[in-house]
């Protein structure tokens, strides 16, 4: 696959996405921002105003050459501090349309909302991991930090029963909506509004076991009672707690967007935890999504117990 010097995907890759039933993906990645497609809508993420204007001008030029039709453009300023992040704002198109839309990823449907917060509902850098979940088709999956339950939709599509845990009641409500969008009944799935850490302890005490566990925590968060979670300091304890709920042959996803944790570090964390609880396991790295240049997107490692 070739890309333009500016980082825009080429028409061959654009057609490949269309053929596989995907209309939600990156269009461009630059050092100071990126552009993403959500069906007919575009989201420009930028570090400053000059970047926003440049990326928009490049997008107009690219869309014309690629014969790509779009409806609206939204923008959001990239800020490191979570509390300073804002909801995307309207930049171009028809401002009177609904802020909600539905996109496709390999024939699965996901709801998108440009009006409910910094993140709009689907993280593209987890596409290959969601596909891996569909390939493995676990019987019982625990989805920690579930957000809008995209991993669980992928699993439920194959008949998996899921447990979804997130502090945000609104996010889990959107997760239920994603189930409904795909014609998947949610009655065999649990949605728990709580901090992941005490939930893991409760599940372990009850003896509940899972053959797949998703660990994709935020870089920083505050749980109930104000207790802070910092992925750089707390990932080991999180994995140790998850291992107490894992079946003998379970697969566990370790994933983070924290810039100080690379795949080597995640593998070191996994090995340390396995040694501490006297378990054996194998590690593998999933393929990088084709629309993400090397060194961008989430760092992910799969741990398989044996």
Given a cut of 50, whether residue 105 has pLDDT beyond it is yes
Residue 108, domain member (yes or no): no
- The pair of structure tokens assigned to 72 is 């609206």
CATH classification at residue 93: 3.30.750.80
Q: Please indicate, yes or no, whether residues 91 and 149 belong to a single structural domain of this protein.
A: no
- The pair of structure tokens assigned to 180 is 């409904």
pLDDT digits (tens, 9 = 90+) for 31-57: 999 999 999 999 999 999 999 999 999
From 61, 81, 97, give the residue that closes a domain: 97
Given a cut of 50, whether residue 156 has pLDDT beyond it is yes
More confident residue, 73 or 187: 73
Q: Residues 194-204: what's their mean pLDDT?
A: 96
Residue 189, domain member (yes or no): yes
Indicate the pTM of the whole model: 0.95
Residue 75 CA to residue 248 CA, distance in Å, equals 45
Given a cut of 60, whether residue 170 has pLDDT beyond it is yes
Residue 278, domain member (yes or no): yes
pLDDT of residue 225: 72
Residue 104, domain member (yes or no): no
Q: Residues 109-117: what's their mean pLDDT?
A: 96
Containing structural domain, residue 157: 124-305
Share of the chain above pLDDT 90, in %: 87
pLDDT digits (tens, 9 = 90+) for 234-286: 999 999 999 999 999 999 999 999 988 999 999 999 999 999 999 999 999 99
Residue 87: partners with Cβ closer than 8 Å, 6 or more residues away: 76, 114, 115, 116, 117, 118
Given a cut of 70, whether residue 1 has pLDDT beyond it is no
Under the banding of pLDDT at 50, 70 and 90, the label for residue 4 is: very low
Enumerate the H helices of the chain as residue ranges. 11-20, 49-66, 127-136, 150-156, 169-181, 196-206, 231-243, 263-277
Given a cut of 80, whether residue 305 has pLDDT beyond it is yes
- The pair of structure tokens assigned to 255 is 């994933």
CATH classification at residue 167: 3.40.50.150
Given a cut of 50, whether residue 3 has pLDDT beyond it is no
Q: Please indicate, yes or no, whether residues 183 and 263 belong to a single structural domain of this protein.
A: yes
pLDDT digits (tens, 9 = 90+) for 85-99: 899 999 999 888 899
Residue 118, domain member (yes or no): no
Number of structural domains (the chain) is 2
């Amino acid at each position: 696959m070739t890309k333009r010097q500016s980082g825009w995907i080429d028409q061959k890759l654009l057609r490949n996405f269309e053929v596989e039933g995907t209309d939600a993906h990156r269009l461009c990645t630059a050092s100071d921002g990126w552009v993403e497609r959500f069906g007919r809508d575009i989201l420009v993420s930028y570090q400053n105003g000059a970047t926003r204007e440049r990326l928009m001008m490049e997008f107009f030029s690219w869309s014309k050459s690629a014969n790509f039709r779009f409806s609206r453009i939204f923008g959001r300023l990239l800020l490191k501090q979570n509390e300073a992040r804002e909801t995307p704002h309207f930049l171009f198109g028809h401002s009177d349309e609904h802020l909600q839309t539905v996109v496709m990823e390999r024939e699965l449907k996901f709801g998108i909302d440009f009006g409910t917060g910094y993140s709009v509902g689907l993280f593209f850098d987890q596409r290959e991991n969601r596909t891996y979940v569909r390939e493995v088709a676990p019987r019982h999956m625990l989805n920690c930090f579930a957000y809008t339950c995209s991993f669980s939709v992928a699993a439920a599509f194959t008949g998996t029963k899921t447990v979804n845990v997130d502090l945000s009641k609104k996010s889990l409500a959107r997760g239920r909506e994603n189930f409904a969008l795909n014609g998947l009944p949610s009655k065999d799935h649990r949605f728990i509004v709580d901090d992941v850490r005490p939930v893991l302890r409760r599940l372990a005490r009850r003896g509940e076991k899972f053959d797949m566990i998703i660990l994709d925590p935020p870089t920083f968060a505050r749980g109930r009672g104000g207790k802070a979670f910092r992925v750089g300091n707390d990932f080991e304890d999180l994995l140790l707690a998850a291992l107490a709920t894992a079946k003998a042959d379970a697969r566990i996803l370790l994933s983070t967007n924290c810039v100080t944790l690379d795949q080597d570090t995640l593998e070191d964390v996994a090995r340390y935890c396995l040694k501490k609880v006297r378990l054996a396991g194998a590690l593998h790295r999933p393929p990088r999504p084709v629309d993400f240049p090397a060194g961008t997107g989430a760092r992910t490692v799969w741990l398989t117990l044996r």
